[in-house]
A and B are shown apart, each in its own frame.
Chain A
Amino acid sequence: MATFTRGFGGRRDDRDDTRIPPGQTLVRDWPVLSAGATPDIEPTDWAFSIRTESGLHQWAWDEVHALGVEDVTVDIHCVTHWTKLDMPWRGVPLDRLFEDVETELDYCMVHSYGGYTTNVPLDELLDGKSWIAFEADGEPLTPEHGGPARLLVPHLYFWKSAKWVRGIVMQSDDEPGFWENAGYNLHGDPWKEERYW
C-alpha cells in the first residue's frame, strides 16, 4: 500500500519501464561509488587469477587480451538508484577464461586489488553474461571507475561488477562478499529489486 506524497509530481520524460528497473532513475553521467581509497595499478602489474579445487590459473594483461576482446553495449543499474542505458564497453568475456578451467564448484568469490570481494554464481558469469572490461565509453577505464580492469556483470546490480578485479576463487557455497556482508542482497537482480536482505 503506497503512501502518496502530496504535491510530488515527478518527472517521467525519460521513463521507459521496459529498460529502467523499478526504483531506478535514468542518469547521463556516470557516478562513482567505492568504499575506500582508489588504488593505482599499472596494466603491466595487473594479472588475473582463477583458483579452483585443482589449482591456479593465471593470465597477465596481454594474455587476457589475447583471449579475444569484444565490444558490447549494455545497460547498468546501481543499487543507489541510478541506471545508465546503452553504455559501450570493451572487454574479454569470462567464457574465454573459463574455457581452460575445469571445476565442479558452482560459486565464485570475485576478489579485487584492495581486498574488495563480491559473490556471484558461476552460471551468472558464463554464456555471454560477464566480461573483464578494460574500456568504457571508448576510453580506458579510469582508476575511479575500476581501471585498469573491472568485472562487468550488467544483469546484476553494479556492486557485483567489481572494480580493480584481480581474480576469482571457486567455492562450493554462495558466501557473502563485502557489501553482501553489509546487508546487500546475495544475488542482486535489479528487475526483482534484490537490493538488501
Chain B
Amino acid sequence: MTLPDTGLEARITPVARPATRRRPAWYAATVASVGRETTNARRIVLDVPTWPGNDPGQHLDLRLTAEDGYQAQRSYSIASAGPATDVVLAVDRVDGGEVSPFLVDAVEVGDALEVHGPLGGWFVWRPGESTRPVQLIAGGSGIVPLVAMVTAHAEADDPAPFRLLAAVRTPDDVFFRAELDQALASRAPLEVTHVYSRTAPPGSTVPAGRLTRDTLAAAVFPPDAGALVYVCGSTPFVEQVLRWLTELGHDTSDVRAERFGGN
C-alpha cells in the first residue's frame, strides 16, 4: 500500500534506498600511529586486527573508557576503505569538546580503545558499480569519508569521472594532501579544486575568499552531467551547498549528504 500522490511529492527530491552492508560489531583497537594532519586536526591510524573491512564513506563509533568505567562514544568517518585492518581517521579538535581534544592532543601510539562498525550504507561509493560521474564536495574535515572514495577510485583505476571540491581556510588546513596527489597521478579520472577562505597558497592566481555559488558552479560538474553528488561538512555548509546546487539547476534527487556539528 502506498500513500496518495498529493502533487507535492513529485516536486520534492526523493531519497534512494541504502545499500546492504556488513553487520557491525565491537572490535578492540590499538593506536598504530598518530600525526599532525592540519593546524587543528590529527591523523590517527588504528590497528583493528579483526576489522571486517569497510566501504568507502562509511563511519564507525569510537568508545573510550576511563579507569572508573565512565565511557564516552563518538562517531567518526573513516578515511580508508577495503579489507585493510589499519583504519584511518582524521579528527578535528572541537574546542571545549570532551573527546576530540583528547584524541587530537593526548592519545598515543599503543593506547587501547574500542570501535563499533562499519556503519552506514547510504553515504558510500563502491568502485565498479557505476560509470556515472561523481561530484564530491567537502567543507573542512568533511573530506574524510570523501578521501576514502577518491582513494578507492584511484586504486581500482575506476573509469567514473570524479571531481572533488574541498573548502578549507588556509593551505595549512588541507587534509590528505599526499593521498590526493597520489590519486591525481593514477589513471582514474579525477580533478581536485581547493577553495581557500582566508589565505590562498603562495603564487595562487585566485585570491582567498569564501565559497560562493559562482566558485561552486565553476568547480563542479555541470547539471547536465548527471553526477552523483556527495556533500560532507558542517550543517550550515551542507545546507548552503545544497541550496546552491538546486539554484544552479542540479537534480538533487539523490544527493547524499552528511552533516556534523550543531546548527
Query: Is chain A's binding surface mostly helix, strand, loop or mixed?
Result: loop
Say whether B18 contacts A39, CB under 8 Å: no
Residues of chain A within 8 A of B63, CB atoms compared:
23
Other-chain contact of A169, B2, B6, B61, B260 (Cβ < 8 Å): B2
In the complex, whether B161 has a CB less than 8 A from a CB of chain A is no
Q: Interface size bucket, A side?
A: 35 or more
Other-chain contact of A38, B65, B72, B120, B239 (Cβ < 8 Å): B239
The complex places the Cα of A51 from the Cα of B2 at a distance, in Å, of: 7
Say whether A35 contacts B111, CB under 8 Å: no
Say whether B261 contacts A115, CB under 8 Å: no
Interface string of A159-179 (1 = CB under 8 A from B): 000001011011100000011
Most buried by B among A9, A30, A37: A37
Say whether B259 contacts A37, CB under 8 Å: no
Most buried by B among A49, A115, A116: A115
Chain B: CB-nearest residue to A105: B1
Say whether A166 contacts B257, CB under 8 Å: no
> Smallest CB–CB gap between A38 and chain B, Å?
6
> Smallest CB–CB gap between B213 and chain A, Å?
16
Say whether A167 contacts B18, CB under 8 Å: no
Say whether B18 contacts A178, CB under 8 Å: yes
Q: A30-B263, A34-B259 are in contact. Are A2 and B71 (CB under 8 A)?
A: yes
The complex places the Cα of A34 from the Cα of B15 at a distance, in Å, of: 10
Stretch of B129-137, B215-223, B248-256 with 4 or more beta carbons under 8 angstroms from chain A: B248-256
Residues of chain B within 8 A of A170, CB atoms compared:
1
Q: List 20 A-B contacts (CB under 8 A).
A: A4-B112, A7-B107, A10-B72, A12-B70, A25-B74, A27-B262, A32-B259, A34-B259, A35-B15, A39-B13, A49-B6, A81-B74, A115-B14, A144-B263, A145-B263, A166-B9, A167-B3, A178-B15, A182-B19, A183-B21
Binding site for A on B (CB under 8 A): 1-4, 6, 8-9, 12-15, 17-19, 21, 23-24, 28, 61, 63-67, 69-75, 98, 102, 106-108, 111-114, 116, 119-123, 235, 239, 242, 246, 252-257, 259-263
